[in-house]
């Protein structure tokens, strides 16, 4: 096995359990109805890459293309919008089902709420979603970004009316900064990283991601045998794992979590499996900026520990490989514009299927010509300069 690839696996039936009630099909349908109340809502497409799957030695490859989500080029707005909506509904003593978009922006409701400031830390996509939602609902947002964040992503957040800035901190320290400012100034923290005493909003964010899984389930022509999910803190991975595990129970697809090896906190936590969360510290300067998180989400981890089958730590070049293949699939297949974090899982699987050094991992994952694999391309070209450098100029070639 290539030394840059590492995998740890859990066996089913070892008594690992987690409460999946927040991620049931009924709950996901409720979340989807809230999102559908926004005028810009449309389900994002599910690309069927039949010919590309065949070329890789797979039976089928389905890619949920979140570059179309709300015109924001990424899925993250699903979580931020549902969390903000749920928080505002709670302030009014209402359930989110009673407060669709048109009612939330009504003069009557706005007069009761006043202006609320929401604060978050982000590498780009989550912050843009929070800023967009705050703008749509006539509220205010403050966004802190970690060192090395792309200027384009900062500009996109500022264009939504947020007070946004790039700090000299890594992601996890930027989260701590946002939290301290929330406590000091009475702002509302909207973060998908959960910790003791801060789990309601992260849980709402995770539920918000359920719309993506719910739509995919409605669009799939057949049940997948495998689902590959990329992870930063593990909130999206936990949410989608929770949804499909609740949906299928013991017959759920084989679920694999993929992380960059420079920020593989979930892999390390799974490897230790000692009841503690294991952190990655330092700059974590991976190409997969949206996954450069060193501290797992406690809620996400509980679901993943009970329901995920494999955890893979992989090198940066697999994300670049995924970007290139999705942007240039086999003839007849739909093109998917996928950013560094969005393409991580597809690139990982493509490398495993075609690299003889990874034959053992391929066998352990059960990937072959009968496998029907579901992927989530969670972002488009949110950093267009780097996207072109990878796809046009060959930055991060395989094995480098």
Q: Which residues are marked as active site?
A: 76, 123
Q: Rounded to whole angstroms, how far apart are CA atoms 377 and 74?
A: 9
Distance (Å) of CA 35 to CA 74, 100, 188, 225: 15, 8, 21, 28
| Whether the Cβ atoms of residue 91 and residue 113 lie closer than 8 Å to each other | yes
Q: Which of 302, 210, 182 is nearest to 23 (CA)?
A: 210
Under 8 Å CB-to-CB from 18, ≥6 apart: which residues? 242, 302, 303, 305, 306, 307
Look at phi and psi of residue 73 and say left if phi exceeds 0, alpha if psi is from -120 to 50, else beta. left
CA–CA–CA angle 100, 217, 19 (5° rounding): 75
Q: Rounded to whole angstroms, how far apart are CA atoms 308 and 351?
A: 21
Distance (Å) of CA 238 to CA 182, 204, 292: 26, 12, 17
Q: Which of 221, 218, 217 is nearest to 252 (CA)?
A: 217
The CB density around residue 180, as the number of other CB atoms within 10 Å, is: 12
For residue 273, give both structure tokens. 């499996």
Start-to-end CA span in the chain (Å): 16
Q: Rounded to whole angstroms, how far apart are CA atoms 275 and 290?
A: 26
């Amino acid at each position: 096995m290539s030394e840059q690839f590492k995998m740890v696996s859990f066996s089913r039936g070892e008594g690992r359990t987690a409460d999946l009630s927040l991620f049931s099909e009924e709950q996901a349908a409720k979340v989807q109805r809230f999102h559908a109340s926004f005028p810009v809502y449309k389900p994002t497409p599910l690309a069927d890459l039949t010919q590309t799957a065949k070329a890789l030695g797979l039976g089928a490859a389905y890619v949920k293309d979140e570059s179309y989500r709300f015109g924001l080029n990424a899925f993250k707005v699903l979580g931020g919008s549902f969390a903000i909506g749920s928080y505002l509904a709670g302030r009014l003593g209402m359930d989110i089902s009673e407060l669709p978009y048109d009612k939330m922006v009504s003069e009557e409701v706005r007069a009761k709420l006043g202006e609320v400031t929401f604060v978050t830390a982000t590498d780009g996509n989550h912050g843009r979603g929070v800023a967009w939602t705050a703008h749509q609902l006539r509220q205010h947002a403050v966004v802190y970004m970690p060192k090395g964040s792309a200027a384009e992503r900062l500009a996109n957040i500022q264009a939504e009316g947020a007070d946004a800035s790039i700090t000299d901190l890594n992601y996890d320290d930027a989260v701590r900064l946002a939290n301290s400012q929330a406590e000091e100034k009475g702002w509302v923290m909207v973060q998908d990283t959960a910790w003791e005493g801060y789990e309601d909003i992260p849980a709402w964010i995770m539920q918000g991601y359920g719309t993506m899984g719910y739509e995919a389930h409605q669009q799939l022509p057949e049940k997948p045998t495998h689902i590959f999910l990329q992870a930063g803190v593990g909130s999206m991975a936990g949410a989608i794992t929770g949804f499909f595990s609740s949906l299928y129970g013991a017959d759920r697809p084989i679920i694999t979590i993929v992380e960059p090896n420079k920020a593989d906190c979930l892999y390390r936590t799974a490897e230790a499996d000692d009841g503690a969360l294991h952190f990655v510290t330092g700059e974590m300067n991976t190409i997969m900026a949206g996954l450069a998180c060193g501290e797992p989400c406690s809620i996400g981890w509980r679901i993943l520990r009970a329901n995920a089958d494999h955890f893979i730590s992989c090198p940066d070049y697999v994300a670049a490989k995924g970007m290139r293949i999705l942007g240039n699939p086999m003839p007849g297949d739909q093109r998917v514009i996928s950013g560094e974090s969005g393409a991580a899982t597809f690139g990982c699987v493509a490398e495993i299927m075609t690299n003889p050094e990874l034959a053992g991992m391929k066998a352990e994952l059960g990937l072959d010509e009968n496998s029907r694999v579901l992927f989530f391309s969670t972002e488009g070209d949110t950093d267009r300069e780097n996207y072109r450098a990878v796809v046009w100029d060959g930055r991060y070639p395989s094995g480098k």
